[in-house]
Amino acid sequence: MAKKKTMIELHRVDVEEYQQLEKLPITIVLDNVRSEMNVGSVFRTADAFLIERIILCGITPQPPKSEIHKTALGAEESVTWQYYSSTLDAVEQLKADGYLICSVEQVHDSISLTEFVVKSKQKTAIILGNEVKGVSQEVVDVSHLCVEIPQGGTKHSLNISCCAAIVMWKLYDQLTVQ
């Protein structure tokens, strides 16, 4: 029978050591996400997959908040983050810094996540939207491309924290050597 690994066997680093680790050239942008718990979950997943930073925009809650902390389990302290009042301003800055802007949204001419490939050194911004409205149309309009997660059930969307985890895992899997 398989035995669970101990914390020592997991080789977890502390916050200071984590901040010194090389990160993937991936920035997660949250476009008006309203739930503190979703934000906390994105922080925790970003920590797990060595994402360089998170940009919180508009109404997206910012640490310190109790519900963010509850789901992030402290990852809001390890993952670098910034706040912009406007997602468009954040995207324009990311473009100026040489990022590929990729909205995760169901749009005409999107590409399937299964076909999405990021080059190893390509700085990429992944934009995830509001729980009800998704990524705003104005942000979709200035994105270089849109990626859609294939789904086969009766629902037409996933919770943003699930969506973020799927996309981050896909990029981590592509950009790291296991």
CATH number of the domain that residue 151 is part of: 3.40.1280.10
Structural domains counted in the chain: 1
The two tokens of residue 127 are 């934009």
pLDDT at 18: 93
In this structure, is residue 1 part of a structural domain?
Answer: no
DSSP assignments along 13-56, one per residue: --HHHHHHSPPEEEEEEEES---HHHHHHHHHHHHHTTEEEEEE
pLDDT at 156: 87
Mean pLDDT of 45-63: 98
Mean pLDDT of 136-162: 96
Query: Residue 105: pLDDT band by 50, 70, 90 thresholds?
Result: very high
Whole-number Å distance between alpha carbons of 141 and 59: 20
Would you give the end-to-end CA distance of the chain in angstroms?
A: 25
70: Cβ contacts below 8 Å, ≥ 6 apart = 37, 40
Structural domain for 66, as ranges: 21-175
